[in-house]
């Protein structure tokens, strides 16, 4: 008899909500992807790479030119010098890097501390590796303090001799929160005390608003010596469908990650890598990304101010959360479904990022809007949301 390794896992919420949006011709502010194209210059570089004959298996760890480009960017922005040869691996999106990192270091009976709400691939990855996820909920927003916050003391207290890894993601999907210096200080104390390994999922590294900057774990030597730093070109270059990401980690950790990577996918699409390597020589596209998305965030915030949704602050990512308590007492999943079906706008229930989406403690009357959309899409959605 077939025995499922993930018996309680269905289709991801992003796919479920995108399909619902399609079925009901709703405006899709759910799944996180832009409704506009990458820079045509980048697309031309892909075509050129194919014409130039870059169509066979590239190097298993990623083409050297792309790994060098990643190394220079990380050095310039975060001050950590990773050896492109032994410490940087190009992966099939951040998702593959996450799975490979977890598979590389987590074994039967190991514990992995995860901050919740979290991206939906984390818990299945841990379980497939034989590990036990220990979820620590972020402190939920209150009227006086309308932000999710990390309680690092609770994270510290969750660490046992069996803890192998702490998984985190800042700028954070779905809450948008970012790290401050004192968060990195707290993490350093934890690493100094326990020697635990870290996984820092940073695909929104270039989307941080209001003049703040992203604190990569690569900025602190003690942290980066213990961390798989993972990112993705999908969010940075408006190309989520290309599925190219990367992982930077010390040599010994990278060596283990590559053993998994070579048997999961072996390597990553060749023309995309050649194009990205060239395109990265200009830092302007990623340096300008925060400003580009801040205008979209502000447009949606202003639009929602005329509705009954209460917007929470979004300091980073291309998501923002809104409280719908003035509109309905339903749980988040039911409200999100109804918003699509009756009002023609699709969102993601924040509860879907919790281990127990239906539990009361996972429901805070919050939905997530993705604002990586054309102005016309945002405006059309706002018109509908005003009427809710």
Which of ligand PMP, ligand GLN, none does residue 94 bind (CB under 5 to 8 Å by kind)?
ligand PMP
Q: Helix, strand, or coil here: 127? A: helix
Q: How far is the CB of 253 from ligand PMP (least distance, A)?
A: 18
Cα–Cα distance for residue pair 371/337, rounded to 1 Å: 19
Candidates 78, 82, 119, 324: give the one binding ligand PMP (CB under 6 A): 119
Q: What is the dihedral of CA 382, 34, 351, 121, to 10 degrees?
A: 180
Cα–Cα distance for residue pair 203/234, rounded to 1 Å: 8
94 binds ligand PMP (CB under 6 A): yes
In which region does residue 238 sit, left (phi positive, over 0), alpha (psi from -120 to 50) or beta (all else)?
left
Our CB check for ligand GLN shows the closer of 131 and 203 to be: 203
12 binds ligand GLN (CB under 6 A): yes
Q: How far is the CB of 320 from ligand PMP (least distance, A)?
A: 14
Site for ligand GLN in 14-73 (CB under 6 A): 14, 31-32
Give the contact letters, 211-250, x = binds to ligand PMP (CB under 6 A), - = no: ---------------------x-x-----x--x-x-----
Our CB check for ligand PMP shows the closer of 62 and 234 to be: 234
What separation in angstroms does the CA of 123 have from each of 53, 117, 305, 365? 40, 11, 35, 23
Cα–Cα distance for residue pair 157/139, rounded to 1 Å: 15
Site for ligand PMP in 156-215 (CB under 6 A): 169, 173, 201, 203
Name residue 278's beta-bridge partners: none
Q: How far is the CB of 300 from ligand GLN (least distance, A)?
A: 16
336 binds ligand GLN (CB under 6 A): no
Which of ligand GLN, ligand PMP, none does residue 176 bind (CB under 5 to 8 Å by kind)?
none
Which of ligand GLN, ligand PMP, none does residue 14 bind (CB under 5 to 8 Å by kind)?
ligand GLN
Candidates 173, 269, 310, 340: give the one binding ligand GLN (CB under 6 A): 173
Which residues touch 100 (CB under 8 Å, ≥6 apart)? Answer: 89, 91, 247, 257, 260, 261, 264
Which of ligand GLN, ligand PMP, none does residue 201 bind (CB under 5 to 8 Å by kind)?
ligand PMP
Cβ(90)–Cβ(231) below 8 Å: no
Name residue 132's beta-bridge partners: 111
Burial class (CB in 10 A: 0-12, 13-18, 19+), 161: exposed
Q: How far is the CB of 100 from ligand GLN (least distance, A)?
A: 16
> Strand 132-137 and strand 111-116: pairing?
parallel
Burial class (CB in 10 A: 0-12, 13-18, 19+), 46: buried
Candidates 95, 175, 290, 351: give the one binding ligand PMP (CB under 6 A): 95
Binding residues (CB under 6 A) for ligand GLN: these are 12, 14, 31-32, 173
Binding residues (CB under 6 A) for ligand PMP: these are 32, 93-95, 119, 169, 173, 201, 203, 232, 234, 240, 243, 245
């Amino acid at each position: 008899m077939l025995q499922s390794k993930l018996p309680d896992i269905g289709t991801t919420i992003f796919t479920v909500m995108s399909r619902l949006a399609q079925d009901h011709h709703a405006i899709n502010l759910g799944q996180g992807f832009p409704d506009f194209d990458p820079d045509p210059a980048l697309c031309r570089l892909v075509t050129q790479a194919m014409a130039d004959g870059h169509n066979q298996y590239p190097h298993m760890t990623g083409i050297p030119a792309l790994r060098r480009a990643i190394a220079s960017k990380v050095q310039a922005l975060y001050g950590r010098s990773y050896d492109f040869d032994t410490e940087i691996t190009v992966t099939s999106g951040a998702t593959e890097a996450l799975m490979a990192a977890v598979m590389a270091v987590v074994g039967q009976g190991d514990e992995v501390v995860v901050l919740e709400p979290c991206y939906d691939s984390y818990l299945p990855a841990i379980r497939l590796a034989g590990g036990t996820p220990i979820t620590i909920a972020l402190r939920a927003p209150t009227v006086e303090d309308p932000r999710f916050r990390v309680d690092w003391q609770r994270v510290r207290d969750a660490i046992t001799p069996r803890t192998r890894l702490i998984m985190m993601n800042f700028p954070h999907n779905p809450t948008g929160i970012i790290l401050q210096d004192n968060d990195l200080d707290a993490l350093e104390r934890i690493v100094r005390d326990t020697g635990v390994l870290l996984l820092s999922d940073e695909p929104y590294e270039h989307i941080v608003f209001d003049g703040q900057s992203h604190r990569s774990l690569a900025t602190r030597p003690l942290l980066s010596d213990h961390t798989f730093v993972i990112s993705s070109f999908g969010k940075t270059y408006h190309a989520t469908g290309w599925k190219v990401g990367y992982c930077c980690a010390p040599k010994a950790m990278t060596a283990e990650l590559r053993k998994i990577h070579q048997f999961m996918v072996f390597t990553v699409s060749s023309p995309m890598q050649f194009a990205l390597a060239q395109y990265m020589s200009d830092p302007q596209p990623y340096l300008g990304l925060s400003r580009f998305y801040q205008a979209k965030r502000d447009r949606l915030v202003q639009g929602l101010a005329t509705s009954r949704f209460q917007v929470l602050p979004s300091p980073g990512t291309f998501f923002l959360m809104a409280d719908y308590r003035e509109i309905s007492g339903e749980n988040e999943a039911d409200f999100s479904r109804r918003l699509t079906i009756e009002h023609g706008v699709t969102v993601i229930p924040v509860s879907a990022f919790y281990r127990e989406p239906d539990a009361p403690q996972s429901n805070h009357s919050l939905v997530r809007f993705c604002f990586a959309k054309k102005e016309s899409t945002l405006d059309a959605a706002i018109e509908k949301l005003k009427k809710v």
